[in-house]
Each structure stands twice: as C-alpha cells, then as structure tokens.
Structure 1
Amino acid sequence: MSATRLLVLGVVRGYGRAHGYLIGTDLMAWGAGEWANVKWGSIYHALRQSTKDGCLLDVPVTATRTDYELTVKGEEEYLRLLRDALRRPETRPDLLAAGLALLPSLRREDAIGLLTERSAAWEARREAAAEQVRAWSEPPHVRELYGLWEHSASSGAEWARGLIGRLAAGEYAMRGEPGSPGEPGSWVTLKLE
C-alpha cells in the first residue's frame, strides 16, 4: 500500500475537487515529505495512476490545469486504504501517519474498532517476540533483536490504547459530527491561482 496514494485520494476527497498543485502544497505544508516520503513526482504519479485505475476523474480546467474528483470506486479504495493503515501494524510508519492525518474521514466507532484491531495485533506480536526472547540461545546477542521487537510492539499497543481512549472520550471531530473535516468536499478550498 502506498501512503502517497492514500494521501492524494484523501486530499481530493476532502476538497471534493482539487488540482495537483493544491494537493502538493497541502501535503508539503503538513510535512508529508518527512513523515510519508511524499515527493512532488510521487503526487503526480499517484494522480495519473489513480485516474488510470478509475479512482479519480480528471477534469480539464484550462490548457495547463486539470482538476481531479473522486469516483465511487475512488471512495471505496480510499476507505479501504485508510482502514488498512489504521488496523495493520507495519514496520514503516508512513502508512499509519497517513491514516492519522485523514482519521476524521471515519466515524468515531469505526476508528475505535480499527485501532482496537491494531492494538490486538501489536499485543500478539509482543507475545511472539517475548517467546522468541525466552527461547533464543545462540548466538545470544540476537536476543536483543527480539527484545527490540517486543518493546516496539508493547509501545505500539500502548499508544493505540491511548488513542482509543481519547476517541472514546470524544476528542477530535469525526465524520458525521459537527465541525468534522471528514465529509467528502468539506474542506475549504484555497485560492492558489
């Protein structure tokens, strides 16, 4: 799964209709170049590929500008990518970061359910790593690798439980709630021309 694809679909969805420069400036302003390795070229590649795949509709505005709109297939793909980013612990942090940036696109109960799955997966990984630490013998220094995995999994589960608690307490405006940026087309369009 590509964090860039998720983010591009999410920004188009948020605005309802957006052009490549708007998408790129938003993502760069969010720091996505750092936490998701988003580059200008990868944004335009994601736009072309998503259009080719039928997830985006390209709408020529002028000879030099094309706007993009999410299709029904694009909405389904976006939500699938977002849910996977939140539910599946990955070793690369870019997917989770992209999912968190777009978290309000989900209803509160959906986000809590996905994060509960994530926490359970981290707990299972923690247990597996702890067993590897206990069972490992030669060479002894490799035990440190399993200890690192155990610690990382424990930290991941703890963080997920904390976010679940904050969401359950009503933090953050989620889809369907007043003030939420989670509905398609709900973002305020910036005038960059």
Structure 2
Amino acid sequence: MSATRLLVLGVVRGYGRAHGYLIGNDLLAWGADQWANVKWGSIYHALKQLTKSGSLIEDFLATRTEYELTERGELEFQKLLRNAIRRPEHRPDMLGAGLALLPALTRQDAIMLLRERLAALEAQRDDAQVQLRKSQGPEHVWELYTLWGHSAESSVEWTQGLLTRLEEGRYAMAGEPDSPGKPGSWHDLKDA
C-alpha cells in the first residue's frame, strides 16, 4: 500500500476539487515529508497514476490542473483508509496517513477497525514472547524478540488509548457536526 496514494486521495476528497500545489502544501504542512516520505515528485506521480487508474479526473484550467475524486477513487480511498487503521505494519507511514484522515470514518467504523488492529497487535506481542522463549539462536538475537514485543506492547497501549478517546466522543467524525470527514468540507474549515 502507498501512504502517498491514500494522502493524495484524502486531500482531493477533503477539498472536493484540488490542484497539485494545494495538495502538496497541505501534506508538507502536516509533516508528511518526515513521517511518510512524501515529496513533491511523489505527489505528482500519484496524481498521474490515480488519474490513469480512474480514481481521479483532471480538469485542465488556464493556469493549473485540478483533480476530483471519482466513484472508483472514493472506493479506493475507503479501502486504503480502512486497511491503514486496521492493519499494523512495521513502517509508520500508512498509520500516519490513516490518522491524518481518520475523521472520514464514522465513529463506529473507526472503533471497529481499531479493535481489529488491537487484536492483531496483541497477537504480535504474544508471538514475540513465544519466540523469545523458544529461541535457539545466539543470546543477542533475543534482543530482536524483545524489541518486537516491546514495540507491539507500546502499540497496544496507544491503540487502547485512542479507542478510549473515540468512545468518549473525542474528535468530530464523519456524520457528526463540524467533522472534516465530509467530502468537500475542507474549504469551510480553512475559512473558519
């Protein structure tokens, strides 16, 4: 999966219609160049590929090209977003992209996906403990299993905290007042 694809789809969706410079400015303002390795070239490459695949349509204006999400693009966005939230990965870029776009999900969906993530993380943590106990290799290899277990345990704690915050009503989610999750709503947020 590509965090850049998810982020580009999410920004275009958020504005309803966006040009490459707006998309890049938003993503760089979020620090996506640091946590997802997003670069200007990768943004324009994603726009080209997403247009080619039918996820975006482009409108050539006098001074720039603007993009809009298609029905196929909405389906791709939802699939990528849901997988980013539900599937733990060792690299943080997909989760970061998913969190940046989390309000596009309903509260109920976000909670359900985070519970799936939590179960997977708990299984990873438990597996690391089993591997540590049965390891036959050199002692220093134990550090690898200790690291995996520690990382999984830390992720379990963080996920439980986010679940609690969402269950308590934190963050405006899709379908709720003032949510940035509605397609085309970001212009209103910037004007506020």
Please classify the TM superposition score into its range, dividing by the shorter chain length: over 0.9
Aligned to 1:43: 43
Q: 2 CA distance for matches of 1:158 and 1:118?
A: 12
The alignment yields a C-alpha RMSD, in angstroms, of 1.2
Which residue does the alignment assign to 2:120? Answer: 121
1:19 corresponds to: 19
Aligned to 2:78: 79
Stretches (4+) displaced over 3 A: none
Q: Which secondary structure state, in structure 1, belongs to the residue aligned with residue 186 of structure 2? A: coil
Quote the offset at 1:137 in angstroms. Answer: 2.8
Q: Which amino acid aligns with 1:116?
A: R
Q: Match of 1:138?
A: 137
Q: What's the counterpart of residue 183 of structure 1?
A: 182
* Identity fraction in percent: 66
Structure 1 unaligned runs (5+)?
none
Structure 1 distance, partners of 2:140, 2:34, is: 33
- Distance in 1 (CA, whole Å) between partners of 2:61 and 2:179 is 29
Report the Cα distance in structure 2 between the residues aligned to 1:136 and 1:26, rounded to whole angstroms.
46
Q: Please give the alpha-carbon distance, in whole angstroms, between the structure 2 residues aligned to 1:124 and 1:72.
A: 36
- What is residue 54 of structure 2 aligned with on the other side? 54
Q: Which amino acid aligns with 1:14?
A: G
Instruction: Tell me the equivalent position of 2:88.
Output: 89
Task: Report the alpha carbon displacement of residue 157 of structure 1 after superposing the two structures with TM.
Answer: 1.1
Count of residue pairs brought into register by the alignment = 190
* Partners of 2:41 and 2:31 in 1: CA distance: 16
What's the CA shift for 1:138? Answer: 2.3
Mark the runs of 5 or more structure 2 residues left unpaired by the alignment. Answer: none
Q: How far apart, in 2, do the equivalents of 1:138 and 1:95 lie?
A: 32
Deviation at 1:125, TM superposition (A): 0.5
Aligned to 1:168: 167
Distance of 1:113 and 1:122 partners within structure 2 = 14
* Residue identity matched to 2:112: G
